[in-house]
Amino acid sequence: MPVPYKKNKIRKVKCKSCGKGFETGITKQKFCSKECQQKVPPTGNPKGRPTKYRASYCKQLITWMGKGLSFESFAGDVDVDRDTVYEWAKAHEEFADAKRKGSAKSQAFWEKMGVAGSSGQLPNFKTGAWVFNMKNRFSWRDKQEVAVTGDLTPWSSIEADDEDEDE
């Protein structure tokens, strides 16, 4: 059996922009016209959901990364997606600053571990795993030396000398 159409109750409300009273059947209508709606700037986060960012995350991030942990893993600590922490770094200069400081502390942590491990202070230190970590996280690379041998005379000079001999 079809349910009969239920009309919204008409009620009187006051416009949030001009203050004029008007009647509406829409429960969330706040303005008497589109002109009044455009006069009032939007409030809150215009993209929707409120941000979970807190200024206290800056200090927390530096401490987190100072333990050798990654910037991305901080997202799991504060229960957000890792894309979110990258967006915070773009939107909040103080958070980007904390990321840079944290990265330096994280690298220092791992370098100290490498020094301790290679000097025998850490039992069962896995040098290969440590090197792999440093290459992937801190852009370390194997040094490659290139030696150039032979005649270093430019080709154009050699060709010009050959032409002079032909004459």
Say what the pLDDT of residue 25 is.
76
Say what the pLDDT of residue 69 is.
97
Phi, psi of 29 (to 5 degrees): -70, 130
> What is the distance between the alpha carbons of residues 130 and 116, in angstroms, rounded to a whole number?
12
Quick one: average pLDDT of 25-36? 80
> Would 146 be classed as within a structural domain?
no
List, in sequence order, the alpha helices (H) in 41-92. Answer: 57-66, 71-77, 82-91
Nearest by Cα to 72 from 106, 48, 49, 45: 106
Domain co-membership, 35 together with 82: no
Which residues does 22 contact at the CB level (< 8 Å), separation at least 6?
Answer: 12, 13, 15, 32
Q: Please, which pLDDT band fits residue 18 given cuts at 50, 70 and 90?
A: confident
Higher pLDDT, 157 or 102: 102
Domain co-membership, 80 together with 134: yes
Say what the pLDDT of residue 20 is.
87
> Would 159 be classed as within a structural domain?
no
Q: Please, which pLDDT band fits residue 3 given cuts at 50, 70 and 90?
A: low
Answer yes or no: is pLDDT of 157 > 80.
no
Say what the pLDDT of residue 44 is.
55
Domain co-membership, 67 together with 125: yes
Model confidence over 73-127: pLDDT tens digits? 999 999 999 999 999 999 999 999 999 999 999 999 999 999 999 999 999 999 9
- The region that residue 66 occupies, defined by phi over 0 for left and psi between -120 and 50 for alpha, beta otherwise, is alpha
What pTM did the predictor assign?
A: 0.59
> Would 70 be classed as within a structural domain?
yes
Number of H helices, E strands in the chain: 7, 2
Query: How many domains would you assign to the chain?
Result: 2
> Would 158 be classed as within a structural domain?
no
> What is the distance between the alpha carbons of residues 117 and 98, in angstroms, rounded to a whole number?
28
Q: Residue 83: which domain range? A: 57-138
Q: Please, which pLDDT band fits residue 2 given cuts at 50, 70 and 90?
A: low
Q: Does residue 105 sit in helix, strand or coil?
A: helix
Domain co-membership, 66 together with 108: yes
Say what the pLDDT of residue 156 is.
62
